[in-house]
Structure 1
Amino acid sequence: MTTTDYEQDFHRWTQEQAQLLRAGRYAALDIDHLVEELDSMGARERRELTNRLKVLLAHLLKWQYQAERRSPSWRATVKEQRLSIDDLLDDNPSLRPTLDQQIIKAYRLGRLLAVRETNLDESHFPTDCPYSMAQVTDPDFYPSSSASRDALTSVAPRHPGRWNACFTFNRANRHKLSLDRGNRIRGRGR
C-alpha cells in the first residue's frame, strides 16, 4: 500500500492511517502527523467549550443588562448552550476540571459579543465574570436585572383566560405595552 501525503489529501491520509493501525502495521504509520492531529483534536474540544461558554455568557449579560428586551429566543439560546456544554463535558470529562479557567477565558469574548449585540458601551459590563461556575452551569439560573427596583415599576394584572396588559415605566421615559392571553405577559423591546 502506498501512503498518501498528509498535505495532499488529508481525508485519504486519515483513512490509510486508520487501516494501518487496525492491521497493526505501526512501523508504517506517519507518527509525526498523527501526534500533531491528536494534539489538534484536544485543542478543538477546548475551543468548542470556550466558544459555547462565550455565547452563553453573552446571553446571560444581555439577559441581565437589557431586561426590557428579553425574549424566548434568548432563553432558548441559553438553554441550548448549557445542554451542549453539558454534552461536551460528558463526552470529554477531562475538560470539567478546567471549566473555571475556560469561563474566565470565554467571558472576555462573551463580554465583547454582548457589547456588539446590545450596542452598549464595554464599560457597561463588569470586567470580570459576575457569575460563578455553579450559576453558569445551573439550568435554572438567569441573572436578575441590573436596574434598581425603584427605577422600574411594573403593573401586570393577570387573570387566566382574559387578555392582560402590562405597562412598564422607567426613568428614561421608555415604556412598553404588552398584551397576551392568560398568565403570560410578553415583553416587547424598543
Structure 2
Amino acid sequence: MSNTLYDCDLQLWIEQTIQQLKNHEFESLDLEHLIEELVDLGKSEKNALKGNVMILLAHLLKLKVQHDVPDSMKGSWYSSVLEHRQRVLNNLADTPSLKSYLVEAVEKAYPEGRKLAIKEGKLAKFGVRVPEESEYPIMCPFSLEQILDEDFYGF
C-alpha cells in the first residue's frame, strides 16, 4: 500500500484538490478520496444537527419533568435550551436541505436525549426529588414547531 498525499497530509491534499478544481485539472483529481470526503462532510452536518437536537430535547424534557425544582437549578437548563436551539436554527439556516432530515434527527436524538435527561435527573441534590424513569415519555412529547419555537421551554 502506497502512502498518498491524502494519507500523509490531509490539509495539503485539500489545498491541492481545491487548486486542481480551480484550474479545471479534473483528470488529476483524486476522485476516490474526494467522494469520501464529501460523503463524510454530509454525515458531519447531520451529526452536528442530531447532537444539538439531542441536548435541546434533554433539557426541554428536564424542564417538563422536573418543573418543581428550584429556579436556581433551572437556569442552566434554560441557557442550554437557548444555546442548542440557536445551534439547530443555525444548522438549518446554513444548510437548508437539512430541514428534510429534521424529523429523522428528532427520532434518532430523542432516545439519547431522554437517556441523558434521566441520568442528569438522578444527580439531583439538596432534597430535590429524583424523577422516576417512567415520568420521561418514551415517545417525544414535543412537536417540531415546539422544538424550534424560541419561546417554548417544555411546558
Normalising to structure 1: TM-score of the pair?
A: 0.71
Bigger relative CO (Cα 8 Å, ≥ 6 apart): 2
- Aligned alpha-carbon RMSD (Å): 1.6
Partner of 2:97: 94
- Greater strand content: 1
Aligned length: 142
CA contact (8 A) 1:49 1:85 kept: yes
Greater fraction helix: 2
TM-score calculated relative to the size of structure 2: 0.86
CA 1:26–1:118: 2 relative to 1, 3 Å:
same
Which has the higher Rg, Structure 1 or Structure 2? 1
After superposition, the C-alpha distances for 1:25-56 in whole angstroms (9 at most, x for unaligned) are 11111001000100110110000000000000
Unaligned stretches of 5+ residues in structure 1:
145-190
The equivalent of 1:118 in structure 2 is: 121
Classify 1:45/1:69 alpha carbon distance in 2 versus 1 (closer, same or farther; 3 Å): farther
Aligned ranges for residues 48-67 of structure 1 at < 5 Å?
A: 48-67=48-67
Runs of 4+ in 1 over 4 A off after TM superposition: none
- Which shows bigger deviation, 87-96 or 97-106? 97-106
Q: Which amino acid in 2 is paired with 1:81?
A: H
Residues 97-142 of structure 1 deviation map (CA, whole Å, 9 limit, x = unaligned): 2211211111011011111111145333111101010010001112
User: 1:103 is matched with which residue?
Assistant: 106
CA distance in 2, matches of 1:50, 1:137: 14
- Please say if 1:134 is aligned against 2:137: no
- Cα distance in 1 for partners of 2:61, 2:102 equals 19
Write the distance in 2 (CA, Å) between the matches of 1:35 and 1:121. Answer: 47
Residue 143 of structure 1: CA displacement?
Answer: 2.3
Separation in structure 1 between the aligned mates of residue 121 and residue 76 of structure 2, nearest angstrom = 15
- Percent of aligned pairs with the same amino acid: 38
The answer for unaligned runs of 5 or more in structure 2 is 123-130
